[in-house]
Structure 1
Amino acid sequence: MRRFHSFAGLAAALLVIFMATTGFVLSLQPIADAVTTIPATGSLSVATVADRVAQDLPGVERLVRSASGQLVAYTLDDGVRSAVVVDPDSGAAVGAYAPSAFFSFITDLHRSFLLGSFGHGMAGLAALAILALAVSGMLLLVAKMGGWRKLFASSRGTGSQRLHTDLARIGVVVLLLTSLTGAYMSAVNFELLPESAGEMFSFAPASAGEGAAPIASLDALAALPLSDLRELSFPAVGDASDVFTVTTSAGQGYVDQGTGAMLAFTPNSVWQQAYEFIYLLHTGQGAPVIALLVGLGALTVPLLAVTGTIIWWTRRRSTPHIAGNAPWRAADTIVLVGSEAGSSWGFAATLHAALTQQGQRVHVAAMNDLRGSYPQAARLIVLAATYGDGAAPASARQFLAKLERFASTPSFSVLGFGDQSFAHFCGFAAEVDAALAAKGLRRLVPFTGVDRQSAGDFAAWGSLLGQQLGMSLVLSHVPKLPPTSRLVLAERTLYGMEVQAPVVVLKFKAPKPNGFLGGRLPRFNVGDLVGIVPPGSDVPRYYSLASASSDGMLEICVRKQSGGLCSEFLHSLPPGGEIDIFIRSNPDFRPDGGRRPLILIGAGAGVAPLAGFVRHNRNRRPVHLFFGGRDPASDFLHRDDLEVALDDGRLASLNATFSRVLGGGYVQSLLTDEAETLRRLVGQGAQIMVCGGRDMADGVRAAIDTCLAPLGLSVDALKQKGMYLEDAY
């Protein structure tokens, strides 16, 4: 389904974008018509209005009422035909009728690309392409979110993935509607489906006329509300046997000009009614609200195309080409990969190269491509990422179903990739490990999880696997780094020396411009991660950002770790020193855009992004910060900034505790003491964000579970709603 969705989107991108863009422009026409149309006051009848028009315009031949309610009279005067807009209340002409040349041109573009029948066919294919994309996208979205009930849960992933998901949830119903109706109308155009059935408007001869009566006195027209009128054709002047021909929303009839009787009436067929209803849904003609919804849905298509292309390209770029990949039938080692964004494939390539060096015939494939059996395989190795909080990633969603029919009996090992900030760390990989064991396969090494793509965790697992296989398996995985930017250290502030826990706040700026180059920071937001590769290492370290690029600086907070290669490098970096960095977006750790309370919880250097969120709280959202340190005189990080934020309303409350002072404690104890406040804020819909060490985050989770138990809530329940976010390390 994902391959189909990607292929259809890429193949038909320009066509679909064109149709959506022109469709959006056309959706403005009913809105413009509604604004410019002269409305009728009261409940006027066709007889009343037609009589007034005939008196003001003696040569009137036809009276046409558009879907918007605009009345147009077509006249013949001294051999000159004209069309004028009339006021329904007075029947007087208010100006010449001049259809919009612009909307007429866009209509032809949208319906046929100005290419006649061939263009109509292309438009029909475009409608089918949008339909296919909408259906496949909806199915993928349901699978990604974990079922229909979770369809509107908080989305996760990169910025492009989140935007793509949110746009799809907004626009998919409208896209399904417009694509289905568009395909139907195209089928009617090519007579693949009937617009009507039989002779809808068969003519019945008029009765012998006794002369024309005043139009206002004609009963059949007097009984017809103006709102039901589509078109009224007047009898030929001087022909007493001619009749009024009236077309309404219900059908077509003929009215005697002398008696006012309805001589015959042919109602619309079911096909005609269906076509008119579908036309209304597709165009919004006469229904500005529908037109607005159709237009907004159409606007999502170009954005979906752009974000979808970015997601496809990112996944494709991060999936390496594995040279020397053995055929699956001849391989003695099968490596299956489950990945959402593609990073797990890089680890698979490293494992493939190391095993191949040891003389193994290795085949690497996606977990979804599990075969029914592998004739030569002695071992099956699964590298499975976990998407979100325990879900299967894109390339592994079919694996467990296919495993039920798996007939081979190789030994196996499962290595999970995940993020310990989620409650179900490597949850899907653990499920795969248990399922393979339940099939009776022998486990080579215990199940292991890799936290945040740690090269060290990967190497340690490889060493254990090599021992079990009787070979030296050295897995030195060096991820391909993105392009870097060079920054200069502008300011440093040291904390924590008195409590033997040095923490430094570093502020970097772009180097001064050199000609047309340099002088600009990369784009980033508070809470994103900056990757820094320290001297003597190929593996980046990541730090949460306390600033946004709009601040004109890049700010991080670094605790000195004993033997920590990067932390020691940064602590020794003097002002004016340079580093090379890259940005990794962290959209899953960002406050929502609402006005509900925000609870920020951090300890030590984990307060850095939280202080950044406070700094950027320009709308004065109620923000409550809980902070834990060692000693207020030594490591009360960002104290001055936070006190200023308290004074100007960007911070509603600051609750701090310190473990090395009398009566102090840890931040989780502070939360327990403030349980009533927490329950009140959560009852108001507060979002909770936690940043800091893993042990601290686990303690905070337990404390909040205890605090919220009287409300029948838990951290897991809040996480499902996107109301509890963690950035733990």
Structure 2
Amino acid sequence: MFRTIHSIPGLIAALLVALIAATGAVLSVNPALERMQAAVPARGEVSVADLAGKVQANIPGVENIKRKPSGEIVVTYFDPDRPGVVTVDPRSGASTGAYEPSAFTLWITNLHRKLLLGDTGRAFAGAGAAAMLILSLSGAVMLAQRLGGWKKLLGRIHGTPSQRLHGELGRAAVAGLVLSAATGLFLSLSTFEILPDGSPAEAPFASASGGQTLPVGDLAALKAVDLNDLRQLTFPYPDDPSDVFTLTTDSGEMTVDPATGTVQTAATNTPFQTAYQWIYALHTGEGLWWLALVLGASASIVPIMTGTGLVIWVARRRARPRIAHNVGAQSADTVILVGSEGNSTWGFAGTLHAALTKAGHRVHTGAMNDVTVYRHADRLIVLTATYGDGEAPSSARRFLDRLANLKSAPARTYYVLGFGDRQFAHYCRFADMADRALAAKGAERLLDTARIDRQSAQAFAKWGVDLGHVLGTPLDLHHVPTRPRTCRLRLIERRDYGIDVDAHTAVLRFGVGEVRPSLHRRLFGARLPRFEAGDLVGILPPGNNVARFYSLASASRDGILEICVRKHPGGLCSTFLTGLEVGEEIDAFVRGNPGFRPQPGMAPVIMVGAGTGIGPLAGFIRRNETHRPIHLWFGARNPASDFLYEPDLKNWLTDRRLTGLHTAFSRLPAGSHVQDRLAADAETVRGLIATGAQVMVCGGRDMAAGVAEVFSGVLGPLGLTVEALRKEGRYVEDVY
């Protein structure tokens, strides 16, 4: 819900909000500049009468004295020879020069308040303030939800570079933006009299008592008012003996008899008028120059957040397939919820959606994260993959928590279909978790949880037949996987290991450029897609649209795309890759993996890898130009056959990109595994953890489980656990 609330006003009003914020940031500097230029007497040093008397003596024909919130004194006068407006020294009353507001500032103010369009522009500006308020509040709620609650709002933000930048900037600016937007909306509503006008109270009409007028400097009522409380003093009209002085202060307005110096009439501001003045000051920063700078800094962030927000929205829209005839969630009789990490599950959901729609059902398809109670739905169908070590995929990470908070089951009946790979230990584990959670919520399971291995279209079609029997509607689920958008990469270098011992492993380096490049590439050149070490590359074997993923051992700025591949018996993609000759090409695409990165800073990093799991770790070490302490524990079979990256590791030790190298080889006479070497080095590891080290583990699932067990023992004396480090982002894994 909050994502929808956040996205809609953001998309509609993105340019308007950015314009209002940018102009507000420019205007925020003015109060500080004016305060620097103004001479402000201490309270009790100068009264209104003192200033008025000196001004009248220095400037004939004074009509009006105004004190701006910055303390600057502006005098309007009319003399046949010298009409005009000047600024004056508050102590001497002498003119300091003509008052000439900046034309640029006036233009920016007009643009900020009414978009140069009069009242129509004021209405748009008010709408922009409302949109900014909605965006700020909904964004704060979304960030809190993403980080696990309000108490963790200051925690580390994960995601793509755009997501991290958007979150960090939003977190820094949200308080200032909420204050600016709320006060701006209040002022807009007052301008259009939707809220009462907040203008200062006006004293009732009064006439002078007559008689000889006193010098303005001797008027008792004006002597009683400190200059710092003055807003405006209007002088009587010279040729009208009945006219009076009108004095406006922060508390209201009064009229003063020029002959007696007494107050004739007075009006005090109502609480609303006083509140209005404060709200105006809070919004403009007038009189609060330091606050203006804070609010201006927050506002200056908005154009950047607008850009990152649009990037995130476009990426999200591109990531999901467009599903035709997707009815609203609360008007559907069938709801399909999708849990997907790489978007392939969305494709199966689209096929099911089309078949059910063709059969006459009103179908809504959405992400599992958006689960709610569907008032008119007869059934809920969940299609979900499992990510990593039995975890929820990205579009389902909040599903279990949100489901637990619902007052009832989302729908009366449900079905769950899991997608996974049988070679993994926790095959379709999250699908089972979703099934149990829905049953616990009171929904009725009408079909046992089914599993689809390796995105089998045949198994999906068979499940469709079973579902059709339960629904009483034949379903033909003929799913053709959509081929991902790929780029062509050419193999430019390879290093081979373990061929003689039937354990073929290769380090493959790819560059861009086809043998027969397209016209576009010939004209504009070719470049690698953007990626970091630890991201994933999806590779499509010839004749197959199902990608296999490999961790990247390089960053795009290295100028190469590098992976480590071990040939598996019967492995379609690994056989294809290890059989490539230099100059041959592949179809590939990149997927971000921002959760597997070294944390910022200079704290030590403990890297643990076995076999091809060293790939992304080598990529991180290669980019360690700051000489951050990195300690690598690496396990393999035999140093003579599969010591991957051996020359590079020795060079990195020499140039201090790598601080320590600890190896374990299982096929040596006194062989050991990497987890054994970690256990032997427990004191060293514990010391690094005590200084704030992060742990990064990459490799096979069994190895990772063994490493986690060793760390449980290592962390015990420190009062820590592996799970506690995971929550802090100090224990991350990339396992397969």
Q: Common fold, TM-score beyond 0.5?
A: yes
Partners in 1 of 2:423 and 2:186 — Cα distance?
50
1:672 maps to which residue? 679
Partners of 1:510 and 1:625 in 2: CA distance:
31
Contact 2:533 2:552 in 1 (8 A): yes
Instruction: Give runs of aligned pairs for residues 219-298 of structure 1, distance below 5 A.
Output: 225-233=226-234, 245-253=246-254, 266-298=267-299
Query: Match for 2:607: what amino acid?
Result: L
Shift of 1:188: 0.8
Query: Could you report, residue by residue, the CA deviation over 1:501-523 in whole angstroms, capped at 9, with x for unpaired residues?
Result: 33322222223886414332222
Shift of 1:479: 4.3
**Alignment partners' CA distance in 1, 2:256 and 2:270:** 21
Confirm whether residue 657 of structure 1 aligns to residue 664 of structure 2. Answer: yes
Matching residue's letter, 1:714: T
Give me the whole-angstrom Cα distance separating, in 1, the residues matched to 2:511 and 2:269.
72
Aligned-partner SS, 1:617: coil
Distance change >3 Å, CA 234–CA 436, structure 1 → 2? same
Alignment partner of 1:611 out of 596, 606, 618? 618
Residue equivalent to 1:716: 723
CA distance in 1, matches of 2:236, 2:146: 64
3-state secondary structure, aligned to 2:642: coil
- Where structure 2 has 5 or more consecutive residues not aligned to the other structure, the ranges are none
CA displacement, residues 469-491 of structure 1 (integer Å, 9 cap, x when unaligned): 99999988664344322222222
- Inter-partner Cα distance in structure 1 for 2:107 and 2:199: 31
**SS of residue paired to 1:64:** strand
Report matched runs for 1:150-229 at 5 Å.
150-196=152-198, 199-202=201-204, 212=214, 215=217, 225-229=226-230
Q: Is the 8 A contact 1:534 1:569 kept in 2?
A: yes
- Shift in Å, 1:273: 1.6
Q: Provide the C-alpha distance between the structure 1 equivalents of 2:58 and 2:643, rounded to a whole number of angstroms.
A: 85
1:98-137 counterparts in 2 under 5 A? 98-137=100-139
Deviations 1:27-68 (A, max 9, x none): 33334434x524447657333666665565455544333223
For 2:576, the equivalent position in structure 1 comes to 569
Aligned-partner Cα distance in 1 for 2:376–2:303: 43
Report the CA distance shift for 1:599/1:200 in structure 2 as closer, same or farther (over 3 A): farther
Q: Within the alignment, does 1:435 sit opposite 2:438 as a pair?
A: yes
Structure-2 separation of matches of 1:386 and 1:226: 71
Contact map agreement 1:413 1:443 (CA 8 A) in 2: no
Contact 2:416 2:431 (8 Å CA) reproduced: no
Question: Retained in 2: the 8 A contact 1:200–1:269?
Answer: no
Is the contact between residue 695 and residue 731 of structure 2 (CA under 8 Å) also seen in structure 1? yes
C-alpha distance in 2, partners of 1:32/1:417?
A: 63
Letter in 2 for 1:179: A
CA distance in 2, matches of 1:288, 1:340: 48
Cα shift readout 1:556-580 (whole Å, capped 9, x = no counterpart): 2222222222222222222222223
Q: What is the percentage of aligned positions where both structures have the same residue?
A: 45
Letter in 1 for 2:249: T
Classify 1:263/1:371 alpha carbon distance in 2 versus 1 (closer, same or farther; 3 Å): closer
The alignment partner of 1:624 has SS state of strand
In the alignment, which residue of structure 1 is the partner of 2:345? 344
Structure 1 partner of 2:408 = 404
Query: Hey, what does 2:455 align to over in structure 1?
Result: 455
**Counterpart-to-counterpart distance in 1, 2:545 and 2:190:** 63
User: Which secondary structure does the structure 1 equivalent of 2:635 belong to?
Assistant: strand
Does residue 1:704 correspond to 2:711, yes or no?
yes
What's 1:64 paired with?
Answer: 66
Q: Residues of 1 paired with 2:328 and 2:127: CA distance?
A: 39
- The 1:407/1:698 distance shift into structure 2, 3 A limit, reads closer
Counterpart residue type for residue 624 of structure 2: N
CA distance in 2, matches of 1:407, 1:108: 53
Deviation at 1:681, TM superposition (A): 3.9
Shift of 1:365: 3.6
Contact 2:374 2:411 in 1 (8 A): no
- The structure-2 alpha-carbon separation of the partners of 1:526 and 1:479, relative to structure 1 and needing over 3 Å to count, comes to farther
Letter in structure 2 aligned against 1:436: A
Please name the residue that 1:15 is paired with. 16
Match of 1:81 among 77, 80, 83: 83
Task: Give the distance between the partners of 2:200 and 2:86, measured in 1 at CA.
Answer: 34
Q: For residues 517-563 of structure 1, give each alpha carbon's deviation from its aligned partner in whole angstroms, at most 9, with x where no partner exists.
A: 43322222222222221223222222222222222222222222222
Q: Pairwise mapping of residues 414-425 of structure 1 onto structure 2 (< 5 A)?
A: 414-415=417-418
* Cα 1:164/1:416, change in 2 over 3 Å: farther
Q: Cα offset for 1:18? A: 3.0
Which region of structure 1 is more displaced relative to structure 2, 517-526 or 152-161? Answer: 152-161
Q: How many residues align?
A: 718
How big is the shift at 1:157?
4.2
Structure-1 separation of matches of 2:362 and 2:343: 19
Distance in 1, Cα, partners of 2:328 & 2:238: 87
| 1:46 partner SS | coil
Specify which of 544, 552, 567 is matched with residue 551 of structure 2: 544
The residue number in structure 1 matching 2:587 is: 580
Q: Aligned partners of 2:571, 2:609: CA distance in 1, in Å?
A: 22
Unaligned runs of 5+ in 1: none
Amino acid at match of 2:287: G
Secondary structure at 1:45 match in 2:
coil
Aligned counterparts, 1:592-603, within 5 A: 592-603=599-610
Residue 25 of structure 2: aligned partner = 24
CA apart distance, 1:201: 3.6
> Compared with structure 1, are the counterparts of its residues 515 and 250 closer, same or farther at alpha carbon in structure 2 (3 Å cutoff)?
same
- Give SS of 1:487's match: strand
Q: CA deviation at 1:350?
A: 4.3
Distance (whole Å) between structure 1 residues aligned to residue 652 and residue 174 of structure 2: 42
Distance 1:691 1:576 in 2: 29
Task: State the Cα distance separating 1:581 from its structure 2 match.
Answer: 2.2
Once the two structures are overlaid, the 10-residue window that deviates more, 205-214 or 719-728, is: 205-214
Q: 1-side partners of 2:329 and 2:100: how far apart?
A: 69
- Flag the 1:44–1:574 CA change in 2: closer, same or farther, 3 A: farther
Task: Decide which moves more: 399-408 or 639-648.
Answer: 399-408
Choose from 608, 628, 633 the match for 2:635. 628
Q: In the alignment, residue 28 of structure 1 is paired with which amino acid?
A: V
Give me the whole-angstrom Cα distance separating, in 1, the residues matched to 2:222 and 2:728. 59
Aligned residue among 510, 513, 524 for 2:512: 510
The code of the aligned residue for 2:631 comes to H
Provide TM-score, normalisation by structure 1: 0.82
Where 1:520 maps in the other structure, the secondary structure is: coil
Shift of 1:429: 5.9
Which shows bigger deviation, 718-727 or 366-375? 366-375
Inter-CA distance 559–42: structure 2 relative to 1 (3 Å threshold): farther
User: Contact 2:679/2:710 (CA < 8 Å) preserved in 1?
Assistant: yes
Q: How far off is 1:419 after superposition?
A: 14
Secondary structure of 1:670's match?
Answer: helix
The code of the aligned residue for 1:702 comes to E
1:112 counterpart letter in structure 2: K
* Whole-Å separation in 2 of the counterparts to 1:198 and 1:61: 20
1:186-223 deviation line (CA, Å, top 9, x unaligned):
111112222348944446666778765584x8776666
Q: How far apart, CA to CA, are the structure 1 residues paired with 2:56 and 2:428?
A: 79
CA distance in 1, matches of 2:708, 2:489: 37
Listed one character per residue, the Cα deviations across residues 424-453 of structure 1 (whole Å, up to 9, x for unaligned) are 985586144343267474564456598xxx
Q: In structure 2, do the counterparts of structure 1 residues 322 and 235 end up closer, same or farther at CA, with 3 Å as the change threshold?
A: closer
| Alignment partner, residue 383 of structure 2 | 383
Match for residue 46 of structure 1?
46
Q: Is the 8 A contact 1:233 1:246 kept in 2?
A: yes
Q: Which residue of 2 aligns with 1:727?
A: 734
What amino acid does structure 2 have at the position aligned with 1:286?
A: G
**TM-superposition CA deviations, 1:75-118 (whole Å, max 9, x none):** 44444223333444665544332212112112212222222222
